[in-house]
Chains A and B, each alone.
Chain A
């Protein structure tokens, strides 16, 4: 006999609520230069625990770079990343996971890809097998377990990358444009996995170009532009009272073409 309680869909109110007072991660005055260019300039942002934070901005705004800095893959030139109020350490990195735009899958089977990630976390035997099974089921990849991971379709590969990251049980999941190359069905599948993970209390930080995706998933939103934060706030705040051009464009459903374009079309440039 199954306990009926387990079959009840979880009510929305049961969802882990983001706690306003307790940031899980903070970027404090992060500055990063490369090749003589200021790629990120004094970035101050706060990621609320349990929230879904969406980072938007044009190409070259520094979104992916910011994600890598917050994850500790790169060190900032100045400033600091705080994890639960403490400087980010290698140990703290293990409480985070990241999904890249192009999924990086090992030249092994789907199963072996999951096995590898879990082994790195020190899981063995029965416990590992159980986790693999759960991950495969949640990604709908059970029937492809023995298949070489790199012959899967783009959507399947990204689903595998997401559940592999989630199998490591992170407190925070970074996703760098995870659906940039995917069709709507595959995008929906990834978004579903992200929402399910968030419902379990995993904090989400997702970079996207997709304005619709930002509206579907976002709770907090950060607009980056030329390595600076153009605007940040909760989605309702930003939609109701947008302070910047990219935010206004997002609210109105317009394409935001970046600051250079506006300057060129305006009259503030002399004919040179």
Chain B
């Protein structure tokens, strides 16, 4: 037990010392994750809303596929992304392997189906309520999609949060396509894995604590926003 507490003490010392290496790793983590989640929302929100709203052939199949892709194993995504981006792969000439961009792409592949599938459910439920009124008003397809997304905004915040949670905690895919290169592609999760295997538990735990604090903070913010939205009957 003694070991645990001294490691924890050391970890907090690192955190409060604002160790520059630590800050760099946290910064890159946030940059990669937030960019990936943002891009995933850019694709996933309209895609999910379209599948939830419009009737077209293959719609049910698409919904099933999106749901199934929610459970994509990150390591497999990493492997496929690696094959695509490696020198002999189709995207090899872009020379993206072992760059933060590659990590963003991998996380995007993991998060987009989550955002799209959850959005589909949220928007479909809301559409059931709005459909007749929209038809009566003569709302066009684009307006309908946009209005549903806008009116579901507080529920969709939770959807984005789910995507963020998945991305920020993800280690397999970013390790494969990023390579965990110091000062280049080293993020919190890959560092934790590496430092733990090296026996450098203080740094690993420090990062673990920070990861938890970030997760708590983001969740608390979203919940506070949602609570105010519920009071206004917007959520």
Contacts and interface: CB of A to CB of B under 8 A. Distances in A.
Interface of A: 68, 71, 73, 90, 93-94, 96-98, 100, 104, 106-108, 116-117, 119-121, 148, 150-151, 168
Contacts of B138: 90, 93-94, 120-121
Contacts of A150: 232-234
A97 B136 contact: yes
Interface in B146-170: 147, 151-152
Given A148-B234, A151-B232, A107 B136 contact: no
B181 interface: no
Contacts of A104: 129-130, 132-133
A107 B233 CA distance: 7
Interface string B210-235: 00000000000000000000001111
B46 to A, nearest CB: 19
Contact of B233 (A96, A116, A151, A168): A151
Contact of A73 (B135, B143, B232): B135
B143 A120 contact: yes
Contact of A148 (B130, B140, B233): B233
Question: B interface, how many residues as a size bin?
Answer: 10 to 19
B139 interface: yes
15 contacts: A71-B136, A96-B136, A104-B129, A106-B130, A106-B151, A107-B151, A107-B152, A107-B233, A107-B234, A108-B151, A116-B147, A120-B137, A120-B140, A121-B138, A151-B233
A215 B232 CA distance: 38
A107 B129 CA distance: 11
A121 B139 CA distance: 9
Nearest to A118: B137
A116 B151 CA distance: 12
Contact of A117 (B129, B132, B137, B235): B137
Contacts of B129: 104
Q: Which 8 A-B pairs have the closest CB atoms?
A: A150-B233, A104-B133, A148-B232, A107-B151, A107-B234, A98-B136, A151-B233, A94-B138
A132 B112 CA distance: 40
A104 B135 CA distance: 12
Main DSSP-derived SS at the B contact region:
helix
B189 to A, nearest CB: 36
Given A106-B147, A107-B233, 15 more contacts: A71-B136, A73-B132, A90-B138, A96-B136, A97-B137, A100-B132, A100-B133, A104-B129, A107-B152, A116-B147, A120-B143, A121-B138, A150-B232, A151-B232, A151-B233
Contacts of A168: 137
A118 to B, nearest CB: 10
Nearest to B232: A148
A117 B133 CA distance: 10
B231 to A, nearest CB: 8
Nearest to A96: B136
A93 B143 CA distance: 17
Listed residue (A71, A97, A120) with the most chain B CB atoms within 10 angstroms of its CB: A120
A73 B130 CA distance: 13
Listed residue (A106, A117, A148, A168) with the most chain B CB atoms within 10 angstroms of its CB: A106
Contacts of B147: 106, 116
Nearest to B155: A107
Nearest to B154: A107
A120 B139 contact: yes
Interface string B59-103: 000000000000000000000000000000000000000000000
Contacts of B143: 119-120
